[in-house]
Amino acid sequence: MASLVVVQHRQPSSTVLSSSLSDFNGARLTSSVQLRRKVWQPKGALRVSASSAKKILIMGGTRFIGIFLSRLLVKEGHQVTLFTRGKAPIAQQLPGESEADFSDFSSKILHLKGDRQDFDFVKTSLAAEGFDVVYDINGREAVEVEPILDALPNLEQYIYCSSAGVYLKTDYPPHYEVDAVDPKSRHKGKLETESLLASRDVNWTSIRPVYIYGPLNYNPVEEWFFHRLKAGRPIPVPNSGIQITQLGHVKDLATAFIKVLGNPKASREVFNISGDKYVTFDGLARACAKAGGFPEPEIVHYNPKEFDFGKKKPFPFRDQHFFASIDKAKSLLGWTPEFDLVEGLTDSYNLDFGRGTFRKEADFSTDDIILGKSLVLQS
């Protein structure tokens, strides 16, 4: 049986690179502890008023999005419980996070250990605890959500992390929330979850991020570019490099998740969340170089159809235009992203890769295939 416990995890603090963006939330947080209203001033922090403290369950919460979201919720005065399998520490001091902030967070965060695929356990444990709000950060299939809804008949709100990947390809970008979706997309499980929520008598909100970046990112988005820039290697970019995409900083995403909490305008609604501006693949390579203080990168374009990479992925983005409108979230929620792209990439670099930390080791094997052929063609 799992038990609900207060986690008090202590670690030595880390040395942090000096930077105007080196603090945990892009700048050091200053706030007074109030349940009724909290004012957040610095870049990357949240300005939001919560009507009352809630008993909140986060499904997941120890990897990327949930790390930032849980801290904001705790600072708002909510009782926050993370439901995880217990494989990762529940509380870890993060780069740029003060001793006082970490101590406060680690003394308040709660943990419910279990496997969400064990539906019977999910039903009994959640029903026993009772929660006002569920943030589902790691749900992938509708079948994983049903036992949660069944266990919590008095749930006030179910907030789901979906994906902009559910949209059907279009000749008329950007994607809007009312656009056609693709039932065959690799994110069809998230689409089916949204359908389930819509079919149930529950107050729900779904967030559809585009590409997410920021410190602790476990997907090789900015890290892929940083590895090549640090090694002084050319950056292989498919086709023309003018394909347009969109990235949103994880801290801006976390504030969006807070903005929908208890917000009647978010009831049974879907919101795209990402950065304010779009960027080309070539532009992203240059932005990463600027963020990390590297020279202007050498960009090599190639035709992916001329290569057989096997199961390896030679580039971290889908080779197409892919971006979404965030106007609905800005209009209805009063949310706006605070990080521009270079500033956000700088934050990510200074708090993560620039400190020598990353999720995946550099693998230049597909680069060497591309560059080897390019050199032959040029000779």
Does pLDDT of 379 surpass 90? no
What does DSSP say about strands 235-238 and 79-84: parallel, antiparallel, or unpaired?
Answer: unpaired
**Residue 11: is its pLDDT beyond 80?**
no
Per-residue pLDDT at 42 exceeds 50: no
Q: How far apart are CA 51 and CA 205, in angstroms?
A: 18
Among 89-93, 150-154, 173-177, 276-280, the minimum mean pLDDT is found in 89-93
Do residues 225 and 287 touch, judged by C-beta distance below 8 A?
A: no
Tell me the average pLDDT across 305-334.
97
pLDDT of residue 51: 56
The number of residues in the chain equals 379
Query: What is the per-residue pLDDT for 16?
Result: 30
Question: Would you state the pLDDT for residue 43?
Answer: 45
30 pLDDT band (50/70/90 cuts)? very low
**Whether pLDDT at 39 is above 90:** no
Of 98, 97, 93, the closest CA to residue 12 belongs to: 93
The mean pLDDT of 117-132, rounded to a whole number, is 97
Average pLDDT of every residue of the chain: 88
pLDDT digits (tens, 9 = 90+) for 129-178: 999 999 999 999 999 999 999 999 999 999 999 999 999 999 999 999 99
Reported as a pLDDT band with limits 50, 70 and 90, residue 375 is low
| Residue 12: band (very low, low, confident or very high) from pLDDT cuts 50, 70, 90 | very low
Across 33-42, 71-80, 206-215, 326-335, least confident range: 33-42
Q: Residue 31: is its pLDDT beyond 80? A: no
Residue 286: pLDDT band (50, 70, 90) is very high
> For residue 7, how many other CB atoms are within 10 A of its CB?
15
Q: How far apart are alpha carbons 300 and 234 in whole angstroms?
A: 7
The arithmetic mean of pLDDT across residues 212-225, rounded, is 96
Over residues 288-304, the pLDDT tens digits come to 999 999 999 999 999 99
For the cut 60, the answer to whether the pLDDT of residue 48 exceeds it is no
- pLDDT the model gives residue 374: 59
Which range among 37-51, 146-160, 179-193 shows the weakest confidence by mean pLDDT?
37-51
The reported pTM is: 0.86
* Percent of the chain surpassing pLDDT 70: 85
pLDDT at 373: 79
91 or 27, higher pLDDT: 91
